[in-house]
Amino acid sequence: MSDLALFGGDPVRKTPFSSWPRVVSGQKEKLVNTLINDSWGIGSETIKELEDKFAIFQDAKNCIAINTGTNALWVALKAAGVTSGDEVILPPYTFIATATAVLTANATPVFVDIDPDTFNIDSNLIESAITDRTKAIIPVHVGGNPADMERIIGIANKYNLIIIEDAAQAHGAEWDGKKVGALHKGGIFSFQSSKNMSAGEGGAVVSNDEDFMDACFAYYNCGRNRDGDWYEHHIVGGNHRMSSMAASLLIPQFQTIEHDMRIRDKNREKLDKSLSDMGLEITHRYKQVTREANHLYLLRYKEEKFNDISREKFFDAMRAEGVYTYAGYNPLYREEVFQGKGDDFPWLKNLNYSNISCPVTEQISDYQSVWLTQNHILGDDSDIQDIINTFEKVTIALNKNPEKFDI
């Protein structure tokens, strides 16, 4: 193959990949109709339509549309009874909101390392992290690949714990033929700009538990009861309601998401088959996973397979060829909020998160993780071939011309 673009050769990809989010058929009309004919917020039929459709889509009985996925997670934790003095188990390999929602629910995050093959929480390590203060577990379906829900549900039932699924990246993903989100107490989704369904910002809670959803309603709607008076407030809730404009952007996407998922499924299969022959390690799924959302395409890069050339130099070469790969998450316990900074969370003062070590998370985050965003695997055959050709060009160069990277 020709010289790497990093060293003056022609790049494989000279045009950008498709942008995301994108406008889909019916969105403009739905927005205008809502603008003219519906409430823009409270009492909106458009919001109710979204909630009904999303509940059905995720195999759940109930859905509440919320203004962000972050707030959806806080609402779900509070509705599940998480409060001061409680501990919540979660992986450190996730977006910061998974942990900060626990903090703002006045509880303590307890980090459990991840499975190197899936990047999800390692279910074999959960029981050893349980104490008499543990209230809940948050399994995160990283990249839209469901966590080991059979084992996690078994642990939760054994110890009388609550599961709140962080399915922010897992729209349409399935565990044993059933969509994720309502597999236990409840789960949350995000409709932020990068997500497979997007309104720019937005979120949702889904569940089959009526009492839990009643509590969610109170926490997301200023402490009101569903059947109470408007100026009657029983708990300290917040205003986390979704705008009907956001709902209008989302509803037409029910006509496109299944088509998008089929494209991602097909392209994921092509990438897996090609890239696994290049020395890169693809992530796996548990046998009960019947469908991934493919929000992210995740790989493991191991320096020892590429002449000890660092992942960062691999990234430089990939980006120069026109395919943007990057590392993704850092271990959350390294963030300053967990390093004794500030007085907002006094119950953390006696905890020394700097002593925490989750070795798999650190190895993945610091040296091995390779991310491609979902718009890369939403392209046509030519787009996917460009990605494959880029990986091939770069990995061949790493193996055959390592001296060029000694800079």
pLDDT, tens only, 152-208: 999 999 999 999 999 999 999 999 999 999 999 999 999 999 999 999 999 999 999
Contacts of 107 (CB under 8 A, 6+ apart): 77, 82, 83, 84, 85, 86, 87, 88, 135
Q: How far separated are the first and last CA of the chain, in Å rounded?
A: 21
pLDDT tens readout for residues 108-147: 999 999 999 999 999 999 999 999 999 999 999 999 999 9
Class of domain 5-21+257-405: alpha beta
Which residues are paired to 186 by β-bridges? 164
DSSP 121: B
**Residue environment code for 250-272, b if the CB has 16+ CB neighbours within 10 A, otherwise e:** bbbbbeebeebbebbeebbeebe
Where in the sequence of the chain do the CATH 3.40.640.10 domains occur? 27-255
pLDDT of residue 342: 59
Q: Return d(Cα 77, Cα 87) in angstroms, integer.
A: 11
Where in the sequence of the chain do the CATH 3.90.1150.10 domains occur? 5-21+257-405
CATH-assigned architecture of domain 27-255: 3-Layer(aba) Sandwich (3.40)
Phi-psi domain of 322 (left: phi exceeds 0; alpha: psi -120 through 50; beta: other) = left
Question: What sections of 160-310 are H helices per DSSP?
Answer: 210-220, 244-250, 257-275
Q: Return d(Cα 12, Cα 85) in angstroms, integer.
A: 54
Q: Return d(Cα 163, Cα 376) in angstroms, integer.
A: 32
Q: What's the Cα-to-Cα distance from 95 to each of 36, 137, 329, 347, 348, rounded to whole Å?
A: 37, 16, 7, 22, 20
pLDDT of residue 337: 87
Which residues are paired to 372 by β-bridges? 297
Q: Return d(Cα 181, Cα 375) in angstroms, integer.
A: 23
* Residue stretches of the chain with pLDDT short of 70: 1-2, 341-342, 407
